[in-house]
Copies of this chain bind each other. A is one copy, B any other.
Amino acid sequence: MCGMTRIDLSLAAPSCSACPIRHRAICATCEDDELLRLERMKTYRSWRVGQTIVMEGDVLPFVGSIVSGCATLTRSMEDGRTQMVGLLLPSDFVGRHDRDRAAYQIVAATDVTFCLFRRAEFQQLVRDTPHVMERLLKMSLDELDAAREWMMVLGRKTAREKVASLLVNILRRTATDVHPIRAELPLTREAMAIYLGLTIETVSRQMTALRRDGLIGLEGRRGILCADLAALQAEAEIDAAP
A residues with CB within 8 A of B:
73, 75, 77-79, 81-83, 85-86, 96, 98, 103-104, 126-127, 130, 133-134, 136-138, 140-141, 143-145, 147-152, 154-156, 196-197, 237, 239
Interface residues of chain A: helix, strand, loop or mixed (majority) = helix
8 Å CB contact of A154 from B78, B98, B133, B155: B155
Instruction: State whether A197 touches B137 (Cβ < 8 A).
Output: no
Q: How far is the CA of A11 from the CA of B155 in the complex (A)?
A: 37
Q: How far is the CA of A134 from the CA of B132 in the complex (A)?
A: 11
* Residue in A140, A145, A147, A151 with the greatest tally of chain B CB atoms within 10 Å: A151
Q: How far is the CB of A198 from chain B (nearest CB, A)?
A: 9
Contact (A137, B147) CB under 8 Å given A154-B154, A156-B81: no
11 more contacts with CB within 8 A, not counting A79-B237, A154-B155, are A75-B148, A77-B152, A83-B156, A86-B148, A98-B138, A103-B145, A126-B134, A127-B134, A133-B137, A137-B140, A140-B144
Instruction: State whether A152 touches B85 (Cβ < 8 A).
Output: yes
Q: How far is the CA of A86 from the CA of B144 in the complex (A)?
A: 10
Residue contacts A-B, CB under 8 angstroms, 18 given: A73-B148, A75-B148, A77-B152, A78-B237, A79-B237, A85-B152, A98-B138, A103-B145, A104-B148, A126-B134, A127-B130, A127-B134, A136-B137, A137-B137, A143-B144, A151-B151, A154-B197, A156-B197
Contact (A83, B155) CB under 8 Å given A130-B127, A133-B130, A138-B98: yes
* Residue in A75, A78, A237 with the greatest tally of chain B CB atoms within 10 Å: A75
Chain B contacts for A86, CB-based, 8 A: 148
**Least CB separation from A133: chain B residue:** B133
Which are the 4 A-B pairs with shortest beta-carbon distances?
Answer: A155-B197, A85-B148, A154-B154, A147-B147
**Least CB separation from A198: chain B residue:** B155
Chain B contacts for A147, CB-based, 8 A: 144, 147-148, 151
